[in-house]
Structure formats: C-alpha cells, structure tokens
Structure 1
Amino acid sequence: MTHLPVQGFSKLSKQEKIDWIVKEYLDDNKDFEKILKSYLNENADLQKLHEEFSENTLTNFYMPYGIAPNFLIDGKIMAIPMVVEESSVVAAASKAAKFWMEKGGFKTTIINTQKLGHTHFIFDAEPHKIKHFFNFNLKKKLMEATDAITSNMRKRGGGILDIKLIDKTSEMENYYQLKASFNTVDSMGANFINSCLEQFGKTLKDEVQKEESFSQVEKDSLQIVMNILSNYTPDCIVRAEVSCKIEDLKDDSGISNEDFAKKFKQAIRIAEIEPYRATTHNKGIMNGVDAVVIATGNDFRATASCAHAYASKSGSYSSLTHCTIDNGIFRFWIDLPISVGVVGGLTNLHPLVKFSLALLGKPSAQELMSILAVSGLAQNFGALRSLITTGIQKGHMKMHLLNILNQMGATEEEKAHFVNYFKDKTVTHHEVISEFEKLRNV
C-alpha cells in the first residue's frame, strides 16, 4: 500500500492525528485507536504535561518502574529506582546489593566533573598567527563575551573552566576547534554549554574581522561550522568499587571461594581483551546505569554513547569494569564517565522523576553519579556471578517466564502452577509450551 504524505501534521489536534494514523497506516482498525486512548492519563493536567515533553504525542508508552533495595553506598543504605523492561535487571541488581551489603557495601570516588564542548571552525590562515591571536587576544574576549551567560552558574560554583585552541589540520584541512571545559554543578548543563559555545562562535567571527594581523583573504576564509557540547566526557568520571577477602566470597552455587574469584577475574579479563564479549558485558552494565538514568529524568542516550566511547579510549573496545586479586583481596571496580543533572530538564516537571530524586535523598549531581556507577557495577557483578556459576539462563528465564505465559494467555491459576513447576528447573520456551499443552490437554 502506498501512503500519502501529510501536510501540517504537527498542527492537527491529537484526535485528528490519531484518526489520520489509524486510517492511513492501520486500515482504519478502531482497535488500534482504543489501544492509543487506553494509555492516556485520566488526569488531564498530567496528560498535557506529558504531551509537552515531546512533539506529535499520541499517547503514553509505559515501562515498569521498579525498586532495587538494600544498596549500601558510602555508608548509607539506599533503595534505587529503576525503569527497565528487561527481565532480571532489577532482581540481579538487588541480589548483588544484598551480597555486598554484608561485606561493607559499595565505595565511590568522584574523580573529576569537567564537561566539554567545542566550536568547530575552518580557518585558512597561517597557524602561528592563529595561535598568537588566540593566546593574546581571543581567549580573554571569549570569557568576557560570555560573562552574562555564566553569571548565575558562577554564583553556584560552576562556569567555564578553560578554553583551548586545538589544531586538527593534520586530520582535516584548515580545521580548528575551540575546546572548552565546564563545571555545571548540579545541572546536566547542555543548554548552558551550548549557549556559551554559540557566543564563542559569534565572538570568534567578530574578533577575526578586527584582527590586523590577518589579511582580508584570511578573514574571509573563516567558517564557523558548528557550536555544540560533547556527550563524550572523559574528564567527568566516578569510580565505584567493592572488595573483600577471598575467604568471604561465599556463593550459594557450590563453587569454592577461590574458584569463584579466579573465574570472575578471568571473565573480566576476557571482556578487557575481546570486543565481542566486551560489547555484551558493557551492555549489561548499562542495563543498570540507564535504568536509573531514565528514572531520574536524565538522558540515557548520552550516558550510553559516552560510556561506549570511553570503553574504546585505548583504540580497542574493552570492558568498563576491572578486577584484581592481590594478597588474598578480591577487588572489583568501574570508572564511569557520566554527565547527569538533578536540576533543570524533567527533574522539576515529571512527577515520577521528582519521586525518584526524593527517594534517593535529593542527591547532588555528584551523588547521583555515584549511584549510577554503583548500579552499573552491581548489575555487572550479578550477571558475571550467574555466568561463571549456574549460567545466565537459569535466573533470566525464570524472570522471563511470566512474559511467555502472558503471551499464551495463561490464567492466574495457570501462572501459579508454572511458578511452582519451574521452582527447581531451568525455564526454557520449549518446556513452557510443552507443559502448557499438557495442562490444557491440547
């Protein structure tokens, strides 16, 4: 079927949008219209608030909001909110939290909080003149030009930390950057950083035209390509770690403490040297991180892209977590680059985001960084613990069981039967179907 383009879709009312979508793409099936409307919030004000978060909103898309309790982080017991649809993520994090609570819990360290942004520009002028111009004129002018923009941020203890001229002409003809580092305190800071950078672009253009050392041909060659923050923040780093004596690594799977520690370290080393494994390994870490990022109204795409870029900083994609065994001490840690905020954006608007931040004790941005790193470390520990002992499927498929049964239309009584049936068995899709057919005498 060939679909016709639509003009002015954004200007249509919500009902008109729904009518057009259902008619044009869904064969005018009113059941789909009912599905869309069934997810709308009955509270009109709350629904309007949700619709204003994004464009062309038809309805809401719900995801489970769960809690992973018993996290001992830097001496404080916390319950962590997690928004995630994947079976076993919350359970694995909770199990890891309980395991480490008895061994002193998680310790965190904020290593740095610098965020970055760039003005990318093309300038066909003599390099030594550009460098002299930046060092003895432009840098000061850039700071002065953004004084009004940074005023409030400076009052809160943040602002522009430094501006550097980066020569990239060896990689692209006449390509330079103004690389700026920022401290945005408790905000993620995207709008602040981008506003500063856009002013950099304007100031650069104005000052080049005034600079007598450049010829008119050189001045005319200047092109401001773009001014934009970077979601890669390798200098905004938090470390989370756990450690204990090997003799305290008691696992209920029957494996000895020494073998557990040895296999765990081997699993980490494989992820450090093998990108195929590292990709899945780090995805599991981000299961924990992004679930909390979403629950606290932050940008999970930004945190994921930053983490994966950082995992490639050596030139080969590698594990974000590491493990050592020294003098009988097992140590497991993560260095996570992450940029988040607790003010601005959805933090003051979305009711469940406000709930999440209240649940976490209204953390600062640095405290939230620590919580996120711990969540990722716990998730990774839970996954590796399963992989090196019982295997990943035993726990994962047990959590996935209800999804399979719901797809098959099982009743509550049938669900109870299956939970009991698989109490001491590994769940497989084939076995569920087979037992389901027996139960219903199919």
Structure 2
Amino acid sequence: MHSLIKGFSRLSREDKVALLLEQQELAPQLAESFQEFLHPVKQHLFNDISENIISNYYLPFSIAPNFLINDHLYMIPMVIEESSVVAAASKAAGFWAKNGGFSTRVIDTLKNGQIHFTWNGNIQSLASVKHEILELITTTTDHITQKMRERGGGIVDIEFKTIANMLNTHQALIKFKTADSMGANFINTCLETIAPHLMDFINKHPQLKSEDKATTIMCILSNYTPQCLIECSVRCDVEQLKPYAGNYSAIEFADRFKTAVEIAVNDPYRAVTHNKGIFNGIDAVVLATGNDFRAIEAGAQAYAAQSGTYSSLTTIEINDKQFTYTLKVPLALGTVGGLTNTHPMAKAAMQILQQPTAEQLMQIVAAAGLANNFGAVASLVTSGIQKGHMKLHLSNVLNALEATETEKTLALKHFKDTVVSYSVVEQFLNQLRK
C-alpha cells in the first residue's frame, strides 16, 4: 500500500507529475503528454482555475450555424466530444430557420437561497412579521446588494418552510434576481450576512416566543430554480416536416414523433434518455460559455421530477395539421463573472454570441437543447439512432484503431452506405492489412 501524500498542493507542477508517476508506477513517457497540452502562453490562467493542475484536458470547440431565435440569427459555440450532437443541432437549426425559427420566452429569472435553522416555535408565526423581516434583510445587505440593485437585481421575497420529516428544522427561502450574473457568490454572501441578524430577530421578537433559541445550521444557494424558467418552441405545418420523414409521409412522421414524445412524458426510463438528448445541446453551450453545467443539470433534472415522477421536459401538440414542439426548462445562467470573463475560449464564445444578456443566453441555450432533442427523436422514429450516430463516430473509431490516412480514405468510402460499428470497422481494417 502506498503511503499518504502530504503537501501535494505545495509542490511544483513538475514535482507533482514526478510523484504521480512514481506513486502509481506509470510510464515516464506520460509526462510528455502532460507537457504537450500545457498552453504555451496562457497557462497561468488555467493554473488559477483549479487545484493541483498538471496539464489541460482539451475538448473540441465547435460551431452550429443557422440558429434563428426570435428572428435573430446566431452561430452557436458548442463544447462536446460527440460529433453527432453538433451535426444534429446544425441540421435542425437549418431546417427550423426555413420554417419560422425558434420562438423563446423568458418566464421568470428568480433564484433561490436557503438559510436552514432549528427552532421549536410556530413557523406560521413568522408570516405575520414577514414585512419586518424583509425590511431587516434588505437593510442588513444594503452594502452588498447596491450594485446588483442598480442592474435590476437584488432580494425579491422571503418565505418560511418546515423541512419535511425533520422536527423543528426549517428554512428561510429567499428569492433573488441577479441580473446578468449567475449569482452564486452574491447569494451566498447575502445569506451568510442575513443569518445572524435573522436568528437574533426571531429570538428577541415578542410575537415569536419559543422555549429554545433559533440557531443557524447552514446557508447556501439552491441550484433548484423552478422560477428561473425559459420556454422554447418550434412550429410548422405538418407537411413541412417531410425532409425529416424518411420513408414515411409527413403526417405519419408527425404521429410517430408525437407518440415517441408521449412515451417520454409517461415513462421515466425513456424520459431520462429523452432529456439527455436535450442536455446534449444545453450542456455543450453552457460549457462553451463558462457556465456551471452541473448546476444546470441538477436543477433541471429536479424540475423534470417535480410531479413526483420523472418526465419529459418537452411537450407536443398537433392541431389542425399544425406541429408545435415545446421545451420548458429552468436555466440559471450568467454572462458576467466566473469563467465567462476569465477563460479565453469562454470569452470568445460570448463574442461569437454577440455578448448576450443572461436572458438572451437562456434563450440561446434552450434553442440548442430543443434542436438536439428534435433531431434525436426524428432519427429514432425513422432510420434509428445508430445509423447517423455511428457514421459520424467513424472517424473516432478509425483513430482508436490507429488507421493510416489511406485506410481512413478507403473506410470512409466503404462505409458511405453501410451501418457502422466498432467491430465491423475493425474487421474491415484487418482485411486491408492482410
């Protein structure tokens, strides 16, 4: 058994690598790979992003063109390792650009922070003094919220709830608007400033009598933001869907598509994969713009299960031969602060998107999610998902099998009209190499 490592973070990068190779008994050549992917000029920026950095991990930075969103044409940056995602997004964007584009609507931008506390008083009694509490928390955070208020944000409301199945355990759920900032640091700072004043208020107010004092447990923002909500729709006459219908008529395709979506609405097993197709697009743009895709995923997945059963984030209607497909999803995004302003490629992504506001970025991200999901469902109900997916994956398979340029050229020609799988490509290369 190896001994525990002390002081690893204080070592130089070179010493970290040397210790890693020694401790894990790795080949010395691995150090060359780490060195190869260091940035020759801006490595200092990457060194400040995380801890114990020994190299950088590269992912493709791609562009999906022709996104017509609320009559504005975008070229959308996407960071993702799956080539079929960018291809599907681009194809769907081009199709919908010719058929009215994506219509989006920001429903609200409220975000949540929680102060959890213990108290054996009547939680309902706090509602009777809510006006006083709101005045207290806005006053105590005035110095923190001033600039945010100037940008249209700040503290909006507060409500009190008891934590289910936990005796005398409650939360102050505080609503925020954070303008163009994602707002995590702002919200957490406000919460930690408010908490001691709020506990003192509860403990001293004559209308809030209890046997024990109110005591803070923790203060933290919530990544569940069901009121930071965006709606994105596409619509057209059913007959216009013919380019996606394959061997089916347009109306047959539309009916099959509707059935597939309704399965995702009613079956959690299908809903998870259905929503994953949405997040192929969402995560790729969120990552490209330096936003927190883990927070977005967690909040949206909770939203998908708000009824008590996990379900599709999309809904569909076909009325009077009019096809309407809609995505509704919470997206707590920022366009200032964090990696958005420090990571060089995140800054480039924001420039490509013409420096959108947070609300505009919500709309762009939602459109990317809906485009990818539309493409995935369309493939499923016509040719199947593997034909197009593996065709685009062919280059990755060839690289994994260390194909030469000549072999790649022959393989691309051979598999032009053939279903691709790893084993089939491997057999083809083995035949060539005999």
TM-score by length of 1: 0.95
One-letter amino acid of the structure 1 residue matched with residue 313 of structure 2: L
Return the alpha-carbon distance in structure 2 between the equivalents of residues 216 and 374 of structure 1.
51
Return the alpha-carbon distance in structure 2 between the equivalents of residues 386 and 210 of structure 1.
64
Out of 147, 156, 161, which is 2:142 matched to? 147
Show CA shifts across 1:175-219 (max 9, x none). 111111111010000111111111121111222343345668422
One-letter amino acid of the structure 1 residue matched with residue 97 of structure 2: M
Residue 272 of structure 2 aligns to a residue whose secondary structure is helix
One-letter amino acid of the structure 1 residue matched with residue 363 of structure 2: S
Return the alpha-carbon distance in structure 2 between the equivalents of residues 164 and 191 of structure 1.
21
Residue 307 of structure 2 aligns to a residue whose secondary structure is coil
Per-residue deviation, 1:116: 0.8
One-letter amino acid of the structure 2 residue matched with residue 91 of structure 1: A
**Counterpart for residue 96 of structure 2:** 100
Is the CA contact (8 Å cut-off) linking 2:226 and 2:330 kept in structure 1? yes
Q: Does 1:198 align with 2:198?
A: no
Show CA shifts across 1:347-368 (max 9, x none). 1111111110110111000000
Residue 266 of structure 1 aligns to a residue whose secondary structure is helix
Per-residue deviation, 1:33: 1.2
Return the alpha-carbon distance in structure 2 between the equivalents of residues 190 and 19 of structure 1.
37
Return the alpha-carbon distance in structure 2 between the equivalents of residues 240 and 312 of structure 1.
19
One-letter amino acid of the structure 2 residue matched with residue 92 of structure 1: A
**Counterpart for residue 89 of structure 1:** 85
Return the alpha-carbon distance in structure 2 between the equivalents of residues 23 and 279 of structure 1.
42
Q: Does 1:436 align with 2:429?
A: yes
The alpha-carbon distance between structure 1 residues 213 and 37, as it changes in their structure 2 partners (threshold 3 A), is same
Show CA shifts across 1:3-34 (max 9, x none). 21111111111111111111101x15211111
Residue 433 of structure 1 aligns to a residue whose secondary structure is helix
Return the alpha-carbon distance in structure 1 between the equivalents of residues 2 and 374 of structure 2.
49
Out of 170, 175, 185, which is 1:176 matched to? 170
Return the alpha-carbon distance in structure 2 between the equivalents of residues 227 and 289 of structure 1.
29
TM-score by length of 2: 0.97
Residue 284 of structure 1 aligns to a residue whose secondary structure is helix
Out of 226, 243, 249, which is 2:235 matched to? 243
Per-residue deviation, 1:247: 1.5
Out of 215, 219, 223, which is 2:215 matched to? 223
Structure 1, unmatched stretches of 5+, are none
Give matches, 1:63-78, under 5 Å: 63-78=59-74
**Counterpart for residue 324 of structure 2:** 331
Per-residue deviation, 1:141: 1.2
Return the alpha-carbon distance in structure 2 between the equivalents of residues 23 and 84 of structure 1.
33
Q: Does 1:59 align with 2:55?
A: yes
Give matches, 1:188-337, under 5 Å: 188-213=182-207, 217-219=211-213, 222-251=214-243, 253-337=246-330
**Counterpart for residue 162 of structure 1:** 157
Out of 395, 401, 413, which is 1:408 matched to? 401
One-letter amino acid of the structure 1 residue matched with residue 331 of structure 2: I
The alpha-carbon distance between structure 1 residues 36 and 124, as it changes in their structure 2 partners (threshold 3 A), is same
One-letter amino acid of the structure 2 residue matched with residue 323 of structure 1: I
Residue 88 of structure 1 aligns to a residue whose secondary structure is helix
Residue 353 of structure 1 aligns to a residue whose secondary structure is helix
**Counterpart for residue 16 of structure 2:** 17
Q: Does 1:425 align with 2:418?
A: yes
Per-residue deviation, 1:80: 0.5
**Counterpart for residue 6 of structure 2:** 7
The alpha-carbon distance between structure 1 residues 136 and 348, as it changes in their structure 2 partners (threshold 3 A), is closer
Return the alpha-carbon distance in structure 2 between the equivalents of residues 145 and 257 of structure 1.
61
Q: Does 1:118 align with 2:110?
A: no
Residue 218 of structure 1 aligns to a residue whose secondary structure is coil
Return the alpha-carbon distance in structure 2 between the equivalents of residues 299 and 179 of structure 1.
22
Residue 50 of structure 2 aligns to a residue whose secondary structure is coil
Per-residue deviation, 1:223: 2.0
Per-residue deviation, 1:136: 5.6
Show CA shifts across 1:274-305 (max 9, x none). 00000111111101000000000000001111
The alpha-carbon distance between structure 1 residues 102 and 173, as it changes in their structure 2 partners (threshold 3 A), is same
**Counterpart for residue 138 of structure 1:** 133
One-letter amino acid of the structure 1 residue matched with residue 89 of structure 2: A
Residue 30 of structure 1 aligns to a residue whose secondary structure is coil
Return the alpha-carbon distance in structure 1 between the equivalents of residues 127 and 151 of structure 2.
32
Residue 16 of structure 2 aligns to a residue whose secondary structure is helix
The alignment's C-alpha RMSD in Å is 1.4
Is the CA contact (8 Å cut-off) linking 2:64 and 2:76 kept in structure 1? yes
Per-residue deviation, 1:164: 1.4
Residue 249 of structure 1 aligns to a residue whose secondary structure is helix
**Counterpart for residue 31 of structure 1:** 29
**Counterpart for residue 49 of structure 1:** 45
Residue 243 of structure 2 aligns to a residue whose secondary structure is coil
The alpha-carbon distance between structure 1 residues 139 and 22, as it changes in their structure 2 partners (threshold 3 A), is same
Show CA shifts across 1:403-432 (max 9, x none). 111111101111111111111111122221
**Counterpart for residue 378 of structure 1:** 371
The alpha-carbon distance between structure 1 residues 216 and 238, as it changes in their structure 2 partners (threshold 3 A), is closer
Show CA shifts across 1:105-149 (max 9, x none). 1111111111111111110224455444x4364332112111111
Return the alpha-carbon distance in structure 1 between the equivalents of residues 191 and 185 of structure 2.
10
